[in-house]
């Protein structure tokens, strides 16, 4: 079924992927810092506020310093930092200069960081942790590593904001289907058209103020929260992490109107005695993982907020969302965003998408691109879905092996490979145990040598230098042997609650 002719969240005629001819993210943002420089833009903490005009000046200075080190448009630069004003200014500066930003999770361990460095070959890196800086430099000592506050000499300002719509702006690392993480190359046009479609669909205006606790190294916080705020000429309160009381305080102190979170956030918020304080927000949005329908319903009962669930990916930015006006269906991700064409192919139906928001391809991976794109330009998401008569999409599963814990993707194969390096583990399989808080709790079934007694703690210690902590199995089950079919393929569906289920009768 093809929804290209079906209902969208805003009349398609209203949608202009170039956002009125801006063509690049930073030229769209420039309209706001030129027209309303005095408007508050970003709040970081007491006394740490930037107006649009101050953001322009700070990012201009940062861009000049970066240029002074020899960086030029088209160079790749790795950014890995907790949320702070310096990171935001540096990110904007990179885009203004035409650099290609490679956002990198701060939880990554040495092997994960080295992979991104080897694959993306950045010329520079901005990191807030000296240890991570050392890892980067030990992978390639020609990379210029500095902290995000850019302690560099001031330099003359080059021409800024000249990136063309098709110039790359970001390379987001994601495993997609299988294998080592691949870089999804997103152009200015891709990123701009997606925030333009969100501006229309969510009626995002300059009066909105977002509470942004999501990390700025993934699409949700960066490509939706930060870019969307600047595109709408709106403002955001950027917090360094998620903690319910700080969030409620920030909403009250800053008269916020928007909150974007992953389901884990909503699960924790509803446990708080202060959850009713969310009633004053104009809009709460959930994404990155499935929002349980009962959490949606309980949230509405407590706060009056009908959470808008939406669906997106690193490769495509945002694709589908429940509407602002009209029914917001618990358990469904809604209707295609303006500009997004969507179809389901096969049975069960794989979600395929096309549109100005869809990335240009994986960085230096022709085989992966050949597999991911159809001849007519549709991208295979690897997610399975169903459409109802009104065109609402429900995600029913995934064609690829992917777990999502607290909004972070975890690929079982990557964890299995790391566990496989343990001399005491002869074979293992990683699956998800359903969890109300995390979505999937990473769970390992291990077969160990009889003489080895390996505890969950021991496994975590072993994985500590190898994998980011959110990928570590929280539950470990010891079994005698993995269930396999006649061809020797592991049958993960028979691993259940610590036991190996009997083979289904033929």
Q: Which residues bind ligand AMP (CB under 6 A)?
A: 174, 219, 287-290, 309, 311-314, 333, 381, 383, 395, 398, 404, 409
Determine, following the binding rule CB under 6 A, whether residue 465 of this chain makes contact with ligand MLC: no
Task: Give 220 or 494: the residue with its C-beta nearer to ligand AMP.
Answer: 220
| 347 Cβ neighbours under 8 A, 6+ residues apart | none
Which residue of this chain has its Cβ atom nearest to ligand AMP in the complex? Answer: 314
Nearer to ligand MLC, 63 or 247 (CB): 247
What per-residue string of b and e applies to 300-339 under the rule 16 or more CB within 10 Å gives b? eeebebbbbbbbbbbbbbbbbbbbbeeebbbebbbbbbbb
Hey, what are 352's tokens? 């395929």
Nearer to ligand MLC (CB atom), residue 240 or residue 485: 240
Q: Please tell me whether residue 365 binds ligand MLC under the rule CB under 6 A.
A: no
Measure the N-to-C terminal CA separation of the chain; round to a whole number of Å.
33
State the nearest-atom distance from the C-beta of 216 to ligand MLC, in Å: 9
Q: Which does 290 bind (CB under 5 to 8 A by kind): ligand AMP, ligand MLC, none?
A: ligand AMP
The answer to the question of residue 215 lying near ligand MLC (CB under 6 A) is: yes
Query: What is the x/- site pattern for ligand MLC, positions 37-56, by CB under 6 A?
Result: --------------------
Provide the β-strand partners of residue 395.
385
Q: Is 406 in the site for ligand MLC (CB under 6 A)?
A: yes
Sign of CA dihedral 418, 421, 423, 429: positive
Let me know if 485 is exposed, middle or buried by CB neighbors in 10 A (0-12, 13-18, 19+).
exposed
Residue from the set 168, 176, 183, 312 that interacts with ligand MLC by CB under 6 A: 312
DSSP 334: B
Of ligand AMP, ligand MLC, none, which one does residue 275 interact with (CB within 5 to 8 Å by kind)? Answer: none
Tokens linked to 24:
């690049």
- Of the ranges 141-149, 191-199, 341-349, 404-412, which one interacts with ligand MLC (CB under 6 A)? 404-412
* Nearest distance in Å: CB 220, ligand AMP: 8
349 binds ligand MLC (CB under 6 A): no
In degrees and rounded to multiples of 5, residue 351 shows phi and psi of -80, 125
Distance CA 461, CA 246 (A): 32
395 binds, among ligand MLC, ligand AMP, none (CB under 5 to 8 A by kind): ligand AMP
Residue in 290, 231, 300, 255 with CA at minimum distance from that of residue 27: 231
Instruction: Please give the full DSSP string across 120-161, using - where no structure is assigned.
Output: H--SEEEES-HHHHHHHHHH-TTSEEE-TT-----------S
The reply on whether position 259 binds ligand MLC by CB under 6 A is no
Shortest Cβ contact with ligand MLC: which residue?
Answer: 406
Taking CB within 5 to 8 Å according to partner kind, which of ligand MLC, ligand AMP, none is near residue 242?
Answer: ligand MLC
Identify which of residues 314 and 357 has a Cβ nearer to ligand AMP in the complex: 314
CA gap 1, 343 in Å, rounded: 6
Binding residues for ligand MLC (CB under 6 A): 214-215, 218-221, 241-242, 262, 264, 287-288, 312-314, 405-408, 438, 469-470
């Amino acid at each position: 079924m093809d929804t290209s002719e079906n209902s969208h969240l805003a009349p398609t005629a209203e949608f202009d992927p170039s956002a009125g001819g801006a063509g690049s993210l930073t030229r769209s943002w420039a309209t706001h810092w030129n027209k309303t420089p005095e408007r508050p833009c970003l709040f970081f903490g007491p006394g740490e506020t930037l107006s649009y005009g101050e953001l322009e000046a700070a990012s201009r200075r940062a861009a000049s310093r970066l240029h002074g080190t020899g960086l030029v448009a088209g160079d790749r630069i790795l950014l890995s930092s907790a949320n702070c004003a310096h990171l935001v200014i540096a990110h904007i500066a990179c885009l203004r200069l035409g650099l290609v930003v490679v956002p990198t999770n701060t939880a990554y361990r040495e092997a994960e960081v080295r992979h991104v460095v080897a694959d993306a070959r950045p010329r520079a890196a901005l990191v807030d942790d000296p240890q991570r800086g050392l890892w980067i430099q030990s992978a390639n000592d020609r990379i210029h590593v500095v902290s995000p506050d850019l302690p560099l000499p001031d330099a003359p300002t080059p021409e800024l904001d000249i990136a063309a719509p098709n110039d790359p702006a970001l390379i987001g690392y994601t495993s997609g289907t299988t294998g080592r993480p691949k870089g999804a190359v997103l152009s200015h046009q891709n990123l701009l058209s997606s925030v333009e479609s969100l501006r229309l669909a969510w009626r995002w205006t300059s009066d909105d103020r977002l509470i942004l606790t999501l990390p700025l190294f993934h699409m949700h916080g960066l490509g939706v929260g930060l870019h969307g705020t600047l595109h709408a000429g709106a403002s955001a309160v950027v917090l360094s992490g998620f903690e319910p009381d700080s969030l409620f305080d920030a909403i009250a102190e800053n008269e916020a109107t928007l909150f974007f979170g992953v389901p884990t956030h909503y699960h924790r918020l509803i446990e708080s005695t202060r959850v009713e304080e969310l009633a004053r927000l104009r809009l709460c949005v959930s994404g990155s993982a499935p929002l349980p329908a009962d959490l949606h319903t309980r949230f509405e009962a407590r706060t009056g907020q009908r959470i808008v669930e939406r669906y997106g990916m690193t490769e495509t930015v945002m694709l589908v969302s429940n509407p602002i006006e009209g029914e917001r269906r618990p358990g469904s991700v809604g209707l295609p965003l303006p500009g997004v064409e969507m179809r389901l192919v096969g049975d069960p139906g794989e979600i395929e998408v096309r549109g100005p928001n869809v990335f240009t391809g994986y960085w230096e991976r022709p085989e992966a691109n050949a597999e991911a794109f159809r001849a007519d330009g549709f991208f295979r998401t690897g997610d399975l879905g169903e459409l109802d008569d009104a065109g609402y999409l429900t995600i029913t599963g995934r064609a690829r092996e992917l777990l999502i814990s607290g909004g972070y993707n975890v690929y079982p194969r990557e964890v299995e490979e790391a566990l496989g390096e343990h001399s005491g583990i002869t074979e293992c399989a990683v699956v998800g145990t359903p969890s109300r808080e995390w979505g999937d709790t990473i769970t390992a079934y291990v077969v160990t040598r009889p003489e080895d007694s390996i505890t969950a703690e021991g496994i975590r210690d072993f994985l500590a230098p190898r994998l980011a902590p959110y990928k570590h199995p929280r539950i470990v089950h010891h079994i005698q042997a993995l269930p396999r079919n006649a061809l020797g393929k592991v049958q993960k569906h028979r691993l259940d609650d610590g036991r190996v289920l009997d083979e289904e009768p033929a």
